[in-house]
Amino acid sequence: MRIPSTRYRIFNVVNIMLLTLLSLTMILPFINVLAQSFSSSEAIMSGKVTLWPVDFTWINYQYVFSDVSIWRAFGVSVGITLAGTLINLLATATLAYPLSRPEYKGRGAVVMFVLITVVFSAPLIPNFILMKELNLVNNPLVLIVPGAINAFNFFVMRSFFMQLPSELIDAARIDGCGELGIIGRIVLPLSKPVMASLGIFYAVAHWNAYSSALYYLNNPAWWPIQVKLKKLFETDELSIDPGTSAFSTLAHTSPEGIKMATIIIATVPIIIIYPFLQRHFVKGVLVGSVKS
């Protein structure tokens, strides 16, 4: 057994230290937000809260759970994320598959058109005019339809499809399987790693939808959770029930705890989903890194 050299061990130690510091810069702010969400308004306003709740209380979450507007925004985000991710994966797969097969003519030109969209993007005003002409302004579909296919994700999926054995697809054609059957019965079942990886990318993008929702959605009923958070931080706009004096007092003295509780609720779904897809995600991010 080969003994690691001193330089290699030093490299490992330095690498672990740097990665630990990088991880702490991401984890500590989240822990601070979590601690504030469980702290009293007096502790938050006085700056006593760091990484552990001070004067532990559930009242911030009680307010959030009783605020209909927050749950409506949460439901909009869930719906957009689920429907949008499904449409994204189907649209990306149906475009990437034919452009990955050498027997289809003209695929090079189509790939070049997709590549152009990576380099050049439409300015905001022409894009807004286009959305208006398509009747997508103030329509939740504006968060799904325009970005149905992400160019970067398209190239990742196309790269994966190109690695699938041509003999397998040819055998399916000989057995009488049509193109849609090949995609549904052979290509997609073999593509779980890349589907899981791109599914996470698409889902996170939909869940974090902010700019498009801010530009195109004027009706508060269609605001996703991220826009609701923005309005909450911008105007301290809290729905207060006059009959609940505890909530009224809290909202007027320190809305910071409510904001932090809303941030936690908006973050937890993505954190929960990732472990279930981690195994496929690790395989998917290595797509194209090894060539046979």
| pLDDT tens by residue, 204-253 | 889 888 888 888 888 888 888 888 888 777 765 555 554 444 455 454 44
Q: What's the pLDDT tens digit per position in 270-281?
A: 788 777 666 665
Whether 14 and 100 share a structural domain = no
| Confidence at residue 83, expressed as pLDDT on a 0 to 100 scale | 92
Question: Pick the residue with more confidence: 282 or 177?
Answer: 177
CB 210 within 8 A of CB 226: yes
The average pLDDT across 156-177 equals: 83
Whether 91 and 197 share a structural domain = yes
| Confidence at residue 278, expressed as pLDDT on a 0 to 100 scale | 64
Number of domains in the chain: 2
Asked if the structure places residue 271 within a domain, the reply is yes
pTM for this prediction: 0.76
- CA 124 vs CA 207, 264, 284: distances in Å: 21, 31, 33
* HEC assignment per residue over 95-153: HHCHHHCCCCCCHHHHHHHHHHHHHCCCCHHHHHHHHHHCCCCCCHHHHCCCCCCCHHH
Whether 102 and 219 share a structural domain = yes
**Is the pLDDT score of 18 beyond 90?**
yes
Whether 278 and 192 share a structural domain = yes
Asked if the structure places residue 58 within a domain, the reply is no
**Is the pLDDT score of 90 beyond 80?**
yes
Asked if the structure places residue 173 within a domain, the reply is yes
Whether 35 and 128 share a structural domain = no
- Rounded distance, CA 89 to CA 189, Å? 13
Asked if the structure places residue 78 within a domain, the reply is yes
**Is the pLDDT score of 288 beyond 50?**
no
- Rounded distance, CA 73 to CA 234, Å? 16
| Confidence at residue 280, expressed as pLDDT on a 0 to 100 scale | 60
Asked if the structure places residue 50 within a domain, the reply is no
- Rounded distance, CA 9 to CA 92, Å? 44
Domain that holds residue 34: 6-45
Whether 128 and 197 share a structural domain = yes
Whether 221 and 130 share a structural domain = yes
For the chain, the straight-line distance linking the first and the last C-alpha, in angstroms and rounded, comes to 29
| Confidence at residue 290, expressed as pLDDT on a 0 to 100 scale | 45
Whether 17 and 95 share a structural domain = no
The average pLDDT across 134-148 equals: 87
Whether 77 and 167 share a structural domain = yes
Whether 90 and 14 share a structural domain = no
